[in-house]
Structure 1
Amino acid sequence: MIFEQIAVGQMQNFSYLIGDEESKEAAVVDPAWENDKILSIAKKHDLDIKMILVTHTDYDHISGVKDMVNATDATVYAHKEGEEGIKNLGISKIQAIDEGSEIDIGKLKVKVLYTPGHNPTQCCFLLDNKLITGDTLFVEGCGRVDMPGGDIKKQWESLQRLKKLDENIGVYPGHDYGSMPNSTIKHEKENNPYMRCDSFEEFSTIR
Structure 2
Amino acid sequence: MIFEQIRVGGDRNFAYLLGDRPGGNAIVIDPSYSPMTVRDIARERRLEIGAIACTHSHPDHTNGNADLRGATGAEVWIHRSAASDGERPVDDGEVLRVGDLEVRVLHTPGHTPDSVCFFAGGKLFSGDTLFVGKVGGTGFGEDAKAEFESLHRKILALPDETEVYPGHDYGLRPTSTIGDERRTNPFLLQPDFESFLRLKKNWLQYKKEHGIS
- Distance 1:79-1:188 versus aligned 2 partners, 3 A rule: same
In structure 2, the partner of 1:45 is 45
Over the aligned positions, Cα root-mean-square deviation in angstroms equals: 1.4
Written as runs of structure 1 = structure 2, the 5 A alignment for 1:110-129 is 110-129=103-122
Distance 2:156 2:139 in 1: 23
Work out whether 1:171 is the aligned partner of 2:164.
yes
Contact 1:135 1:174 in 2 (8 A): yes
In the aligned structure 2, how far is the partner of 1:150 from the partner of 1:121? 14
The alignment of Structure 1 onto Structure 2 pairs a total of residues equal to 199
1:134 match? 127
Question: Of 119, 140, 143, which residue of structure 1 is paired with 2:136?
Answer: 143
Task: Answer yes or no: is 1:204 the counterpart of 2:197.
Answer: yes
Q: Answer whether contact 1:172 1:183 (CA < 8 A) is retained.
A: yes
CA pair 13-141 structure 1, distance change in 2 beyond 3 A: same
TM-score between both structures, scaled by the size of structure 1? 0.93
2:102 is matched by which residue type in structure 1? K
Find 1:153's aligned residue among 135, 145, 153. Answer: 145
- Whole-angstrom distance in 2 between the partners of 1:31 and 1:10: 11
Give the Cα–Cα distance (whole angstroms) in 1 for the partners of residues 149 and 169 of structure 2.
23
> Which residue is equivalent to 1:98?
91
Q: In the TM superposition, what is the alpha-carbon distance from 1:36 to its structure 2 partner?
A: 2.2
The percentage of aligned residue pairs carrying the same residue is: 42
Query: What are the superposed Cα offsets for residues 145-197 of structure 1, whole Å, 9 maximum, x if unpaired?
Result: 139x9700000001112112100000000000001000000110111111111
Give the ranges of 4+ consecutive aligned residues of structure 1 lying more than 6 Å apart after TM superposition.
none
- Structure 1, unaligned runs of 5 or more: none
Is the 1:31–1:65 contact (alpha carbons within 8 Å) kept by the matching residues of 2? Answer: yes
Counterpart-to-counterpart distance in 1, 2:142 and 2:7: 25
1:21-53 CA distances to partner (integer Å, 9 max, x unpaired)? 111111110111112211121011100001000
Work out the CA distance in 2 between the residues paired with 1:198 and 1:101: 30
Give 1:31's aligned residue: 31
Query: Are positions 1:8 and 2:1 aligned together?
Result: no
* TM-score normalised per structure 2: 0.90
Q: Distance in 1 between matches of 2:114 and 2:99?
A: 25
What SS does the aligned partner of 2:83 have? helix
3-state SS of paired residue (1:187): helix
Task: Show the counterpart of 1:192.
Answer: 185
Amino acid at match of 2:121: D
Whichever of the two has the greater Rg, that structure is 2
What secondary structure is seen at the aligned counterpart in 1 of 2:189? coil
**Deviation, structure 1 residue 131:** 0.3
Alpha-carbon displacement from aligned partner over 1:102-124 (angstroms, at most 9, x marks no partner) = 11121121100000000011000
Structure 2 counterparts to residues 81-92 of structure 1, below 5 A: 81-84=81-84, 87=85, 92=86
Q: Secondary structure at the match of 1:5?
A: strand
Question: Which segments of 5 or more consecutive residues in structure 2 lack a partner in the other structure?
Answer: 201-213
Matching residue's letter, 2:33: W
Cα offsets for 1:39-77 (capped at 9, x unmatched):
121011100001000000001100110111111011001
Residue matched to 2:206? none
* CA drift at 1:126: 0.4
Alpha carbons 2:36, 2:68 under 8 Å: kept: no
Distance, in Å, in 2 between the alignment partners of 1:96 and 1:150 is 24
Alpha carbons 1:20, 1:105 under 8 Å: kept: no
